[in-house]
């Protein structure tokens, strides 16, 4: 059966928003502490609706990224800067350091090269889904747009590498369907090759860590999160107190690797997948958003339960934005 790309666009952007919404109350908590609140997460959501009443910066910036692509008919630096500045009026919810400091400088017309922070945080990867969707048939353009969209706010190489990895993963998954599945080996080949041979130390390290993840998929989720929660993090940015615990660090490499790990461990159901992502521990909302974008691109909206979609604030607006982004895709490819 041919792929319903519009359904995949909607699924991926909703996936970001659902993961973000469900993970938001658990941002900054250890996985153990999160899990101690419930035995059944689904019941917990039903009984605590008010905890899950909003998404955060991850979804806000993902929607601004989509709007920038829609307005520019593809990547256009001017539209991106304008949209990330507009985000300041949303106003930002739970904003990360890298994005907010850069957006404030961009607002005062400081050139992006000076405005960008040197943060290696996950703030550029969490907003990348629209680029993976729009450019899924043109990987060269995908990589270029992912990097350019990232360096506007984050000059650290980990941030641009993460953006490329997740955009590429979404482009891969959009052509797969839960009925037929996909090859995990091929997934890793595609994702790792998107950032290999770069001659950049951090990008090379990212490839190595993805290689380690590839050979660690037998680990249970808890053990895998303990192993990868702070991968790639360098001194003095470690959270020493949480070393050896499941608490995903907001550094791009650790967040991306943990999100991919959980997604691949829970590949059989969107619901199971998003529940594990949003309760990962540490930067739970962003693990939810990044992994949710992957899961949504794979499952499509038709495989996302209605009650989860309705958990998202203004979900109808997200559907409209998905449709507009799809129009650009359809005109181009």
Nearer to Mg ion, 94 or 178 (CB): 94
Q: Cβ-closest residue to Mg ion?
A: 56
Does 322 contact Mg ion by CB under 5 A? Answer: no
CA atoms of 324 and 9, how far apart (whole Å): 10
Among 30, 54, 88, 94, binds Mg ion (CB under 5 A): 94
Nearer to Mg ion, 54 or 198 (CB): 54
Neighbour-count burial of 205, counting CB atoms closer than 10 A to its CB (0-12 exposed, 13-18 middle, 19+ buried): middle
Dihedral angle, C-alpha 50, 51, 52, 58, nearest 10 °: 140
Both tokens of 321, joined, read 């934005």
Taking the complex as a whole, the smallest distance from the CB of residue 57 to Mg ion amounts, in Å, to 4
By CB under 5 A, residue 83 contacts Mg ion: no
Q: Residue 283 interacts with Mg ion (CB under 5 A)? A: no
Residue 160 touches Mg ion, criterion: CB under 5 A: no
3-class DSSP state of 62: helix
Single out the residue of 174, 85, 78 nearest to residue 134, CA to CA: 174
Among 285, 296, 304, 326, binds Mg ion (CB under 5 A): 285
- 270: which 2 tokens? 């969107």
Cβ of residue 248: shortest distance to Mg ion, in angstroms? 12
**CA dist list (Å): 284 to 29, 120, 141, 239:** 8, 17, 30, 16
Residue whose CB is less far from Mg ion, 7 or 285: 285
x/- letters, 52..71, toward Mg ion (CB under 5 A): ----xxx-------------
Which residues contact Mg ion (rule: CB under 5 A)?
56-58, 94, 285
């Amino acid at each position: 059966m041919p792929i319903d790309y519009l359904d995949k666009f909607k699924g991926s952007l909703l996936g970001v928003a659902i993961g973000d919404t469900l993970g938001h109350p658990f941002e900054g908590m250890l996985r153990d502490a999160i899990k101690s609140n419930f035995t059944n997460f689904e019941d917990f959501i039903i009984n605590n609706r008010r905890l899950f009443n909003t998404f955060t910066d991850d979804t806000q910036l993902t929607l601004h990224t989509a709007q920038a692509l829609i307005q520019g008919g593809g990547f256009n630096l001017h539209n991106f800067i304008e949209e990330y500045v507009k985000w300041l009026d949303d106003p930002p919810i739970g904003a990360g350091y890298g994005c907010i400091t850069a957006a404030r400088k961009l607002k005062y017309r400081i050139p992006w090269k000076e405005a960008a922070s040197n943060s290696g945080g996950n703030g550029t990867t969490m907003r990348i889904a629209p680029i993976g969707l729009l450019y899924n048939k043109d990987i060269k353009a995908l990589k270029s747009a992912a990097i350019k969209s990232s360096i506007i706010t984050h000059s650290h190489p980990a941030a641009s590498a993460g953006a490329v990895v997740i955009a590429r993963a979404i482009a891969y998954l959009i052509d797969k369907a839960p009925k037929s599945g996909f090859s995990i080996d091929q997934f890793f080949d595609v994702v790792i090759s998107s950032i290999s041979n770069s001659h950049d130390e951090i990008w090379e390290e990212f490839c190595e860590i993805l290689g380690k993840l590839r050979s660690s998929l037998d680990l249970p989720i808890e053990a895998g999160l303990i192993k990868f929660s702070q991968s790639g993090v360098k001194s003095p940015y470690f959270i020493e107190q949480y070393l050896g615990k499941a608490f995903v660090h907001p550094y791009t490499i650790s967040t991306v690797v943990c999100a991919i790990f959980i997604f691949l461990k829970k590949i059989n159901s969107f619901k199971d997948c998003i529940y594990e992502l949003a309760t990962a521990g540490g930067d739970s909302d962003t693990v939810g958003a990044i992994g949710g974008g992957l899961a949504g691109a794979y499952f499509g909206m038709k495989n996302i339960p209605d009650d989860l979609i309705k958990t998202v604030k203004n979900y109808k607006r997200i559907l409209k934005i998905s449709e507009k982004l799809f129009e650009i895709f359809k005109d181009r490819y």
